[in-house]
Each structure stands twice: as C-alpha cells, then as structure tokens.
Amino acid sequence: MKSNEIGRRGLLKGGAAAMLGAAAGPFGSLLRSWPIVPQQQTATVEAAGIARIKIDFDRRIGTIDRNIYGNFTEHLGRCIYGGIYEEGSPLSDADGFRKDVLQAAKAMHVSVLRWPGGNFSSGYNWKDGIGPKDQRPRRWDTAWQEEESNRFGTDEFIEYCRKLGAEPYICVNMGTGTMQEAADWVEYCNATTDTYWANLRKKNGHAEPYNVKYWALGNEVYGSWQAGHKDAVEYAADAVEFGKMMRWVDPTIKLVACGGPGVDWNFPVLEKLVYLVDYISLHHYGGSLETAKEFNDACEFEKQVRTLDAVITAVMSRTDKKERVAIAVDEWNIWFRSWFHRGDNHMLEEIYNLRDALWIASGLNMFHRNCRTVKLADVAQLVNVIAPIMTNDTGLVLQTTYYPLQLYTDHCGDVALDALVRSDAFPGLPDVPYLDVSATTDDGNQKLTLAVVNRHPTTDISVEIEIEGFKPQSSGNLYEINGPSLDAANTFANPSQVTVRRKSYSGAGAAFRQTFAAHSVSVMTLQA
C-alpha cells in the first residue's frame, strides 16, 4: 500500500493507458498487436430493459483457485492494533485477538492472509517482533510515520492465521532488509533443523514448523514512496539473490515477484525471474464519485489483468518452463476518498457505500473470468484501514463491501463457466455494461451459481436466462445485496442501510426470465 496517493494514481492510470503501447524488448510489437478479447461478451440491446445471459456447461473457462478470496493486514493505523489485535480489551481473547473481528473474518472464509505490508514491510525487521513481548524494541515506522510497539509479530500473525483458518502469506523486506534476513525468516518459520533460528522458534514455544508457503519478494519496489526504491533491472537482480537464498532454506515455498504498473517494469522483471517465481503481483486501487467512472474503473482493472497475462505469455514463450507463472492480485480495493475527500486524521478509514460493494463484486466476477491466470488475490485490508470491517471500543460494523466477499465464498463454485452476457451499457461507455456476471459450478455439475451485478443506478433489469447442459430445479434461493441508493453506507449510527436479503424464486428451467433489482448484487443458486 502506498503513502503517496497522488503519485500512485498517476502511475496506475498512466501505466494502464500505456501498458501495451510502452512494451519494451523484442516482444514489444507482439504485445501491442495482441487484442484483448473479453470472455464475457457485451453488446447494446435494442429492447429497453431486456438483457440476456446464456450458459453452456460445455464452455468451461477453468478451475477457480480459492486463494483469490484472500485478505491483507498491514501495520497501518488501526488495522493491527485496535483492529485484529487489542490487548486488554473485554472483546479480546486471552491471546489479545478481537473475538468479534475474528468471527466476522471467519464468515468471509479468508483463504490467504498477507502480512506485514505493504509499505511497512520495506522497513520492517522481523527479528524485532519475536521473543518476550515486553523485551521487544519500539521502533519508528518511516512508512506511515507511527510508533511500532512490535507486540504483534511473526508468532502472533501465524497464530491468528491458524485461528482464522487462512494460509499465511509473508512479504519480505527488500527495502532496508538483506537476503540473509529473508532467509533467516524462512528458517524461523519453516525449518526443522537443529539450527539457530529454527531452535529459537522452538524456544519461543512453537515446536512445530509453521510451513509458510507463500512469500513475496518485496512490496511495490518500483515506487518512489517505497524504502529501497529500485528500477526494474536493479530489483530483478536483487530478487534473484533473495529468492535463491530463501529457497535454499526451504525449496517448497512459493515466491511472488513484485509486479509493477506496466510492461516497462513487468517484462524485464519477469524475464529475469521467470524460472524462480510462481507468481507476479498486481496492485489496483480504484473508485470515483461518479457511478459510470467507478464501474469503468472495474473494466480497466480487468484490462490491467489481461495485459499482465499477455506479458506472462510473451515471456513464457521463450522458456521451457512447464508451470505457468500466475498473477497474484495481492492488493486491490476501492481507495480514493480518504486521500482527497476527507480532512480528518482517520488513517485511511474509508466509509464504503453500495456503489463500492458493486465494484467489489465486479472484481470478484473478473477473477472468476480470469481464473486461468489469477490464482491469488488479497483485498486490502481486513479491518479499519480501507476495510470491510470497522471497529470501535464496543463492537464492529460490517461495511457494504463485506457482503459480496462473504456471499461469493459461501455460494460460488470452483469451476468458472464462460457466460455470454448482453445488456445495455452506460451512455458513452459501450464497454461498461450495466450487467456484470460470473457463472460457476462444481466438479459434478450439480450446482450453478449466477453472480449478477446490476450496476444501473435506478432501473431493475429483466434478463432472459438460457442454460444448456444443466437441468435446474424450478425453485431455489437468491441472495441480494441492496440498499436505498448507491450512496447508502453502513455506519455505527446506521449499521444496516445495506444488507443481504435471502429470497426464493420459482419457475426456473432451461430458459426463464429473472428480474434483478437496480443497484444490486444477486447471487442465485440453482441445484440440479
């Protein structure tokens, strides 16, 4: 996560516009010539208010990796302290973890949890955060200009992941840190040897190895806001040395290269690291005060993913590596008001509205459509800081963005189907349809889940739905996220403006009509 929002937005938007045009190296012309063909087809429909969704069970996109339902925690504001961890609070358990936050996070079925940053990781010495808590040093965090107590460190993070049921994902310090420190961290977490760091973990009360599988090679090293900022060539050279040292300690770990805002960064980085890494990261923060622009940003997000996928294809074509490098979208969210439209010292505590929840659902649909390449994703962040969960001293409130994260993990299947979708589009934005859809099933084709986002601000949309290769029962459940308007938000004063309603439907079959309410997310489950 970046401390220089203006620079970040300029990089992302400039990079997104220039990604294909700025392709470097011998594959530049090839990348520029490749079309970005969406799997979800859209077109303007003549009949007003009528749209179409067609599902063919023979048209499978691929398997959805459940690691796309991950989350992110950083030592920033009230995310860790006062969020997931609050020693002495009557709401916390004996280990200091907020029980209400843990319960809410469990209901989202968080698959992977990234830590400790973010910008924070580029100046963090993990050795400060182990051992007796009262003996840990207090440090000044230069990333977010805060005091860091180090009372929450590696052991606490792993314990929280175990309670949450999430895989831990650690980002190593490639700013002020060294490759030896990174390798030592892997040893502390994963080694069973009779060596110093493994023995220190045991001495600290953790006899069994943590088996941390996912490790990021730095955070946003391309950015001037980052401690240890480097260009692509410098970063790639360092990442090779960090990665090989870490793998020499544990050959089984999965490594994530630091992806950047465009081809000029990603191509040379991946050329150098393609044999070393399993993933390359992508960060995207979006949003707008204008409805059409916010949903146009969701479409730009998808183009950004597909452009990075094209880079991966170009680099992989020059290798004999069998396993394709995947994309880890390990920071993504709406993030703009807390920089430009609020003046209080809130430490990035965004207040989300229904429009933002629809954007999040569109992002999840996009991950489903791109499941062949997006294999890991982490919403930033879990609690308080640009988060779906907000706390105070007495409880919490579930923000609007919480509900799609929960519903999708509850009901969407593990196989993505290629849905044909036709609907009207926003005026002047023919590539931004009112309807955004993903279709999923299970391995046995016993359940079809349609996740339908109606992004129209005022109009219900009637949809003709056709299904081939699947015979659904005539009735079932539909879960609808909605509120009085796109601007509706959940706050401590009014915590239930946006909620989920469970509805029943009837009359479904191989062809039927369903109306989806204005400004809503609908998760419709059809059983065979």
Residue 212 near residue 190 (C-beta atoms within 8 A):
yes
Nearest to 284 by CA among 257, 266, 303: 303
Active centre residues (catalytic): 220, 331
Got the DSSP string for 245-294? HHHHH-TT-EEEE---SSHHHHHHHHHHHTTT-SEEEEEEEE--SSHHHH
Binning pLDDT at 50, 70 and 90, where does residue 1 land? low
Rounded (10°) angle between helices 263-273 and 291-316: 30
- Cite the residue boundaries of each domain of the chain with CATH code 3.20.20.80: 5-35+66-380
Burial class (CB in 10 A: 0-12, 13-18, 19+), 76: buried
Residue 28 near residue 438 (C-beta atoms within 8 A):
no
Residue 199 and residue 206: Cα distance in Å, rounded? 9
Nearest to 360 by CA among 451, 425, 485, 428: 451
Binning pLDDT at 50, 70 and 90, where does residue 338 land? low
Give the model's pLDDT for residue 24. Answer: 31
Q: Which DSSP category does 490 fall into?
A: -
Q: Which DSSP category does 50 fall into?
A: E
The residue ranking higher by pLDDT, 416 or 25, is 416
Give the model's pLDDT for residue 337. Answer: 75
369 residue type, one letter: R
Q: Coil, strand or helix: which one is 237?
A: helix
- Cite the residue boundaries of each domain of the chain with CATH code 2.60.40.1180: 50-57+419-527
Give the model's pLDDT for residue 336. Answer: 83
Give me the percent of the chain exceeding a pLDDT of 90: 87
Give the model's pLDDT for residue 25. Answer: 32
Could you tell me the CATH superfamily of domain 5-35+66-380? Glycosidases (3.20.20.80)
Give the model's pLDDT for residue 35. Answer: 28
Global pTM value = 0.90
Nearest to 457 by CA among 234, 292, 298, 270: 292
Give the model's pLDDT for residue 343. Answer: 52
pLDDT digit string (tens) for 301-319? 999 999 999 999 999 999 9
Six-digit token string for 34: 């490749």
Q: Is the pLDDT confidence value at 22 over 60?
A: no
Neighbours of 110 (CB within 10 A): 23
Could you tell me the CATH superfamily of domain 50-57+419-527? Golgi alpha-mannosidase II (2.60.40.1180)
Q: Is the pLDDT confidence value at 80 over 50?
A: yes
Got the DSSP string for 101-146? HHHHHHHTT--EEEES-SGGGGG--GGGGSS-GGGSPPEEETTTTE
Binning pLDDT at 50, 70 and 90, where does residue 36 land? very low
Rounded mean pLDDT, 66-87: 97
Cis check: omega of the bond before 96, within 30 degrees of 0: no
